[in-house]
Structure 1
Amino acid sequence: MSDDVLHRPPVHALLADGTTVRIRPVAPADRAQLEGLYQEMSPENLRLRFFAASRRAAEQAAERACATGRPGHRALLAERAQQVLGLAEYHSGEDPASADVSIAVAEGLHHRGVGTLLVEHLVSAARTDGITTFTADALSENHKVMRLFTDLGLDITRRLDGPEVHCSIALDTDDAYLTAVEERGRTADVASLGPLLRPETVAVIGAGRTPGSVGRALLHHLHTGGFTGRLFAVNPKCTSVLGVPSYPSVALLPKVPDLAVVAAPAPAVPGIAEECGKAGVRALVVVSAGLDTGTARALVTACRTHGMRLVGPNCLGIANTEPGLGLDATFAASHPRPGTAGVAVQSGGVGIALLDGLSRLGIGVSSFVSLGDKYDVSGNDLLQWWESDDRTDLALLHLESFGNPRAFSRTARRVTRRIPVLTVDAGRTDAGRRAAASHTAAAATGTMTRQALFTQAGITATHSIGELLETAALLHSQPLPAGTRVAVVTNAGGAGVLTADACAEAGLVLPQPTPDLVDDLLTVLPEGASVGNPVDATAAVGEAELRACVDRLVAHPGVDAVLVALVPTAVAAATGDDLVRALTDGPGRRARPVAVVRLEQEVPVTLLRAADGTVPSYAEPRAVARALAHAARRAAWLARPADVPAALDDVDGARAHQVAEEYLAAHPEGGWLDPRTCADLLSCYGIPQLPWAWAETEDEAVLAAERLRGADGRVVLKAHWPGLVHKSEQRAVHLDLRGDAQVRAAYRDLETRFAGLLTGVVVQPLAPRGTELFAGVVQDEVFGPLVLFGLGGTATEILADHAARLAPLTGHDVHDLITGPRCAPLLFGAHGGGPVDLDGLEQLLHRLSRMAADLPQLAEADFNPVLATPERVTVLDARLRLLPRRSQDPYLRRLR
């Protein structure tokens, strides 16, 4: 058993009812508690566990569980308030890939998910140990344990043997298992957030008499915001604040609050949290700022120990406008307008801006959480809450950091299929930086990694708060466009041109109208109108004429959206026509999106009340074009069916782990692999390499060249020494070598120039002509493995023509990688050449992704160049760097 499993630190996680438990390895000192666990079981449950109601068997089981250090044995327990709630363990026998598993849950705690949660953690530990199968024996009447195994989401086979059932559980944690874990996690998460976002009783700790204090502002908002539950203040110096009864301490409150809002000086916060936990408070919102590391750690410890969910510290507060609740525990300038947008932000200033903007637009807020320093409750938690609350139809996020991006991504992929999820891509300072070196880590940027996360998860990423609100207005009020084809209508030619330019710059298409559409529009437009795209309806257009024109465009199959650019004219004023009314009045909501641009409009975006809903109106053409482009991308993402990583049958993951561990055993600090170890690792994943040979002397190089020469007799020599990254820059490559004499001369040149460094050379046949590409991986400490692809050779340093996606890659991800770079047309046969082997290219990226997902030790992989021809795809030069990293399961249920 690996040391990282044996010494894995305790973690906290949520049961199905939202209760926080602590999961940790069993220690010898736990024997008395484990015996107590069994002693308190009913005779019937003892019989189901041990096949007989034997107290002696229970004592022996407790003794075995506490015998730590036994080979092939692992035991975990779940506890709360120092009480053991359950035990799960496995031990392997002669077959190291198989282990027998057993579970025990405390009397009265069944059906709360204790056993399932423990088994999930056992599965994660077992996979780290190389165990692929759990076995278990149970009485056929033990329906609880049989249901537990069945509901895990793993493949299970059963064999009846009299009154017993022999179970075999395959620990292949595929997408079905992860989906089952996610669903259990969502149920537990939402239950745990109930006391936070739907409290029946709230206490404000730190609310005083001083006007302008944060605590007083929080209490005022709760008191005046229509909160329907009981409200208390906690202040030892007064008996009432703003008409709200006040008590000296939490312990003296007449009713234990579900939620405590803390606005106290930073040093006092941990003590307050401990007092709240002992009193039975279920959730904390800490607005206090300035907590140092020790104070913050003590706050989190108190919350975990007593099972309280925590928002903050250093936050603006929370709100839930749900009818019959009226919770506003913020110190924003005004109460949030009730509505349907869920908002989670890390910056209080951004939160205030979004609350104001959504209220102004009339969209309003369903629930708002200012995450602050985000020690516990995160964007992932809120996405799951909004998914389940039956009120939220739009999610807005502002996240400055990610605690578990891969779990966040899986949650977002699911949630974005139901509601739009928008974010501000903050911190884009690296966006314009070009890669200064060819290796993968230099090419990857934080911006690239975040954008890959957002794109793969279907999240709409904007560049500013203004753009976020502009896009939210369109998504809230209009149907999604089926594509990017836009028709522009205007009553002033200049406004139409500006709108058309903005659309083209945003990646939208302005198709010319078909002859039948031209004839149709001319029948309803005034004389002198020009029907192109834009449609110039002239200043003489009236309300009825404009409405008829827009309706005909909306109904045409060649149009996906209609933008109407209007300017006020004396002509319309003289006739009493209201051109805006032409868009808002009608039989109902139109089937395709319609938006208006009014250059005289004072606010950036507003929603005009229409007969059935609203119509977005923008002051600037670029704003509406950006919003519509975001909507089109969302529609395209939704049109793709859900996808999973490709199945690769000829991968030898066990051998790959062995190669990596053997290298790190010999090189504890890690490093770049030598060519032979590199080739060995690539062969485990079936990654095609150009034939090569290793030579450490001049004569060996000549012999290798004779074996490897192709039809034209030319070979290549590449120098190697540990740490060599840029062969071309150091002129460590000799190309186009013919005959033994040239090979000897090339070897002597490398040996002379790199004396003291050179450890050998790689000899390869000269590759045929083709397109040189780049593929690589870098392991991000937070986001996991990022796969990059683009133009290769020396051009990769200059052009930085790369696309990126987070591993593991699905078929959609691979398609996006291949089509994303600017060089993509070359791969599909542009400029008269035939397309390259696209199937081979897809396979290469899938295999690279699988290697990165399998091996956390793979810090960096760099394939440059990858030669793509119509016949095949081959890696000409590969470099891999390993570091001693421990495997972490990103989908394991645990609190931060």
Structure 2
Amino acid sequence: MDEQVARDEAEARYPAAWEADVVLQDGGTARVRPIRPSDADALQAFHVAQSERSTYLRFFAHLERLPERDLRRLVTVDHDARVALVATVDDDEAPGYRIIGVARYDRLDDDEAEVAFNVSDAHQGRGVGSVLLEHLAAAARERGVRRFVAEVLPQNGRMLAVFRDAGYEVRQHAEDGVVALGFDIDPTDRSLAVMADREHRSEARSMRAVLGARSVLVVGPALPGTAHPRRLHLGIARALVAHLALADPAVRVQSVGTDPLPEGAPDENGGDEADHGAAFTAAFTAAFAHVTGPVDLAVLAVPAARAPAVVRAVAQTGARAVVLTSTGFAETGPDGLALQREVLAAAHGAGLRVIGPGSYGVVSLGEDGALNASLADELPRPGRLGLFSQSAALAVPLLAAVRRRGLGLAEFVSAGHRADVSGNDLMQFWADDDGTDVVGLYLESIGNPRKFSRVARRLALAKPVIVLTAGRSGHVVPPGHAVRATQAPARVVDELMRQSGVIRVENTHQMLDVAQVLGAQPLPAGRRVAVVSSSSSVAALVAEAASTAGLVVAGAQVLPEDASDEAAHAQVRAALEDDDVDVAIVVRIPLVGGPDLAFARTLASVAASSGKTVVACMLGLHGLTDELTAPDADGTPRTVPAYATPEDAALALGLAARYASWRARDHGRPLHPEGADLRAAGRLVRGWLPAAAEREVELTAAQTAQLLATVGVDVLASTPVHDADEAVAAARAIGYPVALKTTVPALRHRADLGGIRLDVADDVELRADVAEVLALAAQHRSEAGVAPLEVQAMAPRGSSCVLRTVEDPLYGPVLSLGMSGDASDLLGDVSYGIPPLTDVDVADLVRAPRAAPRLFGYRGLPPLDVAALEDVVARVAVLSDALPELRSLELNPVVVAERGAVALAARATLAHADRADATRRLQRG
């Protein structure tokens, strides 16, 4: 009975939030989750399958089987002092699952735990141990553990390598024939970089298996029928087979349930899909028996209800991924979401990635061969543009526009509802892909903004990333997209994009406009633009458009329409050879006659030899054309992109120049404020936040000040008082002059309404002020705190700021800064940052508000200590990044003086949090 009670209690404490599907080093998938008592048989099977050497290295002794008592102890944990995680995959020989790795820790004291690992011999080299260590460390930090220790036999090189390569500072020594080691598990710059790099390689490899597929299986309806869904799936399947065969005969294409179905075949039973039951299963099983050889990729066009069974069957072919074109999943409601999760469980358990549901397909036009596993009848020419689109519907006009403009396509992926594969995965692939120069993404939703920012910034430092979101706010969530709710302002998306270095555009037209210039021209060396036009009036308009786009007009020239070829060549060359010119916009619109192709060839030649960025607007030419193509000094073809309007050309060039400026600048270093003790902050929060707390916990002023002190932010002390006598006593203890403040929320921070009295010089003045403020506060008595007044020492004179951080369910911590006052609130003059930030990000955040010039000597006033303000912002940023339980924090005001910055008041709330971007790599749908 006691044993059963222990098991029931363990199940009740089971931390489901620790469950995750992960991408392993070889691009395959596995599930990581806490161990359960029901795992006893699987754990015993795992142990029995291990070699004698592996068993000895783990237990320091040979055990053919785990003793029953030990087995029960190993699978029964409390998920706190004793934690164990298992990595599992589906059993390919029998129904159920197999354990391929186990990691556990046993707490030794409040801060330290002993850790041990065991990875299946059959799955060595896939990075299972590294993944388990990352997840175990994350779980340990949630439980307050800050240090792992272990004892490892010297010959256990693999396990020693897992610890050594994790990025932690491992200290070890030999003792009695055993290597004793220990390391702090708080994230460091190096450990975070190691995790990000491992994540990058794994996800990139999984996408490489998709885009490099040379053997494709298409699965369509297995039985004939006239019901609309089945006919749609049949048409899609047939189109996929045809497109695959036409794109590259070298791609091996097989099909299940498509070829045997004649056009217009009747439905035998006259019923719907569900009526076929056993007949479907039998026909389906027989059809898959004919699939031969290894399969790289499977493309499915089957009714949603059949998808889980199809995926399980596909897994037996050795496929690495499935493209699911079908709809009818999460977008239909809870039942559809459950079906989608069943599909993901079947795929991830078998090591497959899922592209879709609702995918338009994937295209790869690399040098190694073409792959058209999509519904596109016609493809753009091969090139160096990578495109990602969540929407299948938008994929149709997007690919058509790429083809019309003459842009060359490298890869295209439509992720549909992105239940698994997302834009992050493709960006990981493109970061290493030598065949892609420019990346464009259409995102209907951003499921993990913090990861998006990290991955996009890494890619944008090497290649331009152009992003279009559904809706300007970026908060549109189409049906079928499992995205957390957000309370963040729409401007946070803008800041996310800016921090990431991506180029945000308003529509697909702009996306391809920018892709043209970045793919065909060198990066702009600066913002100084020369305008050359055949009309003075047009030149003026273009100059205005260029200025609006953020360019600096270095000169506007008129090239007469009747100028000779020699004169045109000389004038364009002179404009581009000007040392004060970085880029150029050339407009040629003849009033009489058709396109001036001779001038186009002249412009192409001069532009290619100049090495500068040139765009054009020319009658009759659009996109990338042969007429505007010429070799540069190295013999590389360079094309001057042609735009429909001069305004389009100016906007695209301005966005390209802004990106080039971002890429060339110093992006700063991670924040490590001196004296910040995040461990101490974590201990305080865990002590103040009860494990059973279901609502926010508001900290007292003293607690908030104590929390901020752990990261080196001081709050100027204040004394609560009820009447004049208490106020005078407090002021004498502090020393005059003092400030008197009301605690009534409607009047707090409002000197203009009389709620604050500054520079109170003596007892008489203070008593009079107390009477006036109490009378004013009496109108708001119901809102007053326990003590209606506060007395505080006077801070140095300066400008006041408001610094806030809020833990958003989607974005995680969102930092905001604005100058104090109604104007900032009413006009939204607030800057935002999404930690983790660098020192350069902090500097940008401080300078972004329109009222920020008040900090830098506005109208003859002395410049203030901006460095001190940046230090406060940096300390709050690392605190909010380290503590997802910090639901909100407000420092209001922070007074920035000529020397120093000090917070005069602070408020904070705590709540249990489940941050979207934990170290768990791939959350299950």
| TM-score band w.r.t. shorter chain | 0.7 to 0.9
The offset of 1:274, in angstroms, is: 3.4
Deviates more, 1:372-381 or 1:32-41: 32-41
Give the alignment of 1:275-294 within 5 angstroms.
Answer: 275-278=313-316, 280-291=318-329, 292-294=336-338
Partners of 1:425 and 1:825 lie apart in 2 by: 32
Aligned to 2:719: 693
Partners of 1:390 and 1:240 lie apart in 2 by: 43
Partners of 1:230 and 1:485 lie apart in 2 by: 52
The offset of 1:811, in angstroms, is: 1.0
Give the alignment of 1:219-618 within 5 angstroms.
Answer: 219-235=241-257, 238=260, 249-255=287-293, 257-278=295-316, 280-291=318-329, 292-429=336-473, 445-511=488-554, 533-568=555-590, 578-586=598-606, 588-598=608-618, 600-601=619-620, 603=622, 608-611=628-631, 612-618=637-643
Aligned to 1:880: 908
Q: 1:814 aligns with which of 842, 845, 849?
A: 842
Partners of 1:791 and 1:835 lie apart in 2 by: 15
TM-score (norm 1): 0.88
Aligned to 2:47: 38
Give the alignment of 1:777-856 within 5 angstroms.
Answer: 777-856=805-884
2:525/2:582 contact within 8 Å kept: yes
Q: 1:708 to 1:740 in 2, by over 3 A?
A: farther
The offset of 1:836, in angstroms, is: 1.1
1:235/1:248 contact within 8 Å kept: no
Partners of 1:781 and 1:895 lie apart in 2 by: 15
Matched, 1:107 2:133: no
Q: 1:633 aligns with which of 630, 644, 658?
A: 658
Matched, 1:660 2:685: yes
Q: 2:190 aligns with which of 176, 196, 201?
A: 176
Aligned to 1:684: 710
Q: 1:362 to 1:497 in 2, by over 3 A?
A: same
Matched, 1:739 2:751: no
Partners of 1:152 and 1:63 lie apart in 2 by: 31
Q: 1:63 to 1:732 in 2, by over 3 A?
A: farther
Q: 1:718 aligns with which of 733, 742, 761?
A: 742
Q: Given residue 19 of structure 2, which amino acid in structure 1 is its aligned partner?
A: P
Q: Given residue 559 of structure 1, which amino acid in structure 2 is its aligned partner?
A: V
Matched, 1:90 2:105: yes
Equivalent position SS for 2:599: coil
Aligned to 2:144: 130
Deviations 1:211-262 (A, max 9, x none): 99333322322232225222223227826789xxx99633443446332222
Q: 1:32 to 1:606 in 2, by over 3 A?
A: same
The offset of 1:675, in angstroms, is: 2.6
TM-score (norm 2): 0.85
Equivalent position SS for 1:534: strand
Deviations 1:141-165 (A, max 9, x none): 3222222222111111221335332
2:693/2:912 contact within 8 Å kept: no
The offset of 1:195, in angstroms, is: 4.3
Q: 1:546 to 1:832 in 2, by over 3 A?
A: farther
1:5/1:125 contact within 8 Å kept: no
Partners of 1:3 and 1:862 lie apart in 2 by: 36
The offset of 1:729, in angstroms, is: 11
Equivalent position SS for 1:758: coil
For structure 2, the 5+ residue unaligned runs are: 1-9, 91-96, 226-230, 265-283, 330-335, 476-485, 632-636
Matched, 1:150 2:164: yes
Aligned to 1:522: none
Partners of 2:405 and 2:535 lie apart in 1 by: 27
Q: Given residue 203 of structure 2, which amino acid in structure 1 is its aligned partner?
A: D
Equivalent position SS for 1:644: coil
Q: 1:540 to 1:58 in 2, by over 3 A?
A: farther
The offset of 1:840, in angstroms, is: 0.5
Aligned to 1:524: none
Aligned to 1:704: 730
Q: Given residue 507 of structure 1, which amino acid in structure 2 is its aligned partner?
A: G
Partners of 1:752 and 1:284 lie apart in 2 by: 67
Deviates more, 1:356-365 or 1:200-209: 200-209
The offset of 1:427, in angstroms, is: 1.5
Q: 1:60 to 1:141 in 2, by over 3 A?
A: farther
Deviates more, 1:310-319 or 1:221-230: 221-230
Partners of 1:6 and 1:426 lie apart in 2 by: 35
Partners of 1:851 and 1:370 lie apart in 2 by: 38
Partners of 1:155 and 1:725 lie apart in 2 by: 51
1:311/1:375 contact within 8 Å kept: yes
Aligned to 1:436: none
Q: Given residue 99 of structure 2, which amino acid in structure 1 is its aligned partner?
A: V
The offset of 1:472, in angstroms, is: 0.6
Q: Given residue 740 of structure 2, which amino acid in structure 1 is its aligned partner?
A: V
Q: 1:668 to 1:229 in 2, by over 3 A?
A: closer
Deviations 1:346-404 (A, max 9, x none): 12232223212222233221111111111001001111122233211111101121222
For structure 1, the 5+ residue unaligned runs are: 432-442, 512-532
Partners of 1:825 and 1:749 lie apart in 2 by: 34
Deviations 1:544-585 (A, max 9, x none): 333333334433332211222223266999xx9932222112
Q: 2:174 aligns with which of 155, 160, 165?
A: 160
Partners of 1:156 and 1:288 lie apart in 2 by: 49
Deviates more, 1:701-710 or 1:246-255: 246-255
The offset of 1:8, in angstroms, is: 4.1
Partners of 1:180 and 1:5 lie apart in 2 by: 29
Deviates more, 1:295-304 or 1:278-287: 278-287
Deviates more, 1:542-551 or 1:378-387: 542-551
Partners of 1:378 and 1:317 lie apart in 2 by: 13
Partners of 1:572 and 1:366 lie apart in 2 by: 34
Identity among equivalent positions (%) equals 30
Partners of 2:68 and 2:572 lie apart in 1 by: 81
Q: 1:725 to 1:150 in 2, by over 3 A?
A: farther
Q: 1:821 to 1:312 in 2, by over 3 A?
A: same
The offset of 1:846, in angstroms, is: 0.2
The offset of 1:64, in angstroms, is: 4.3
Aligned to 1:519: none
Matched, 1:861 2:889: yes
Equivalent position SS for 2:106: strand
Partners of 1:279 and 1:619 lie apart in 2 by: 49
Q: 1:315 to 1:44 in 2, by over 3 A?
A: closer
Deviations 1:35-62 (A, max 9, x none): 4433333333333333344558887764
The offset of 1:720, in angstroms, is: 4.6
Partners of 1:46 and 1:265 lie apart in 2 by: 46
Deviations 1:174-212 (A, max 9, x none): 221122112222222233334432223322222689699
Q: Given residue 739 of structure 1, which amino acid in structure 2 is its aligned partner?
A: L
The offset of 1:861, in angstroms, is: 2.5
The offset of 1:419, in angstroms, is: 1.3
1:481/1:592 contact within 8 Å kept: yes
The offset of 1:610, in angstroms, is: 2.2
Equivalent position SS for 2:841: helix
The offset of 1:757, in angstroms, is: 4.7
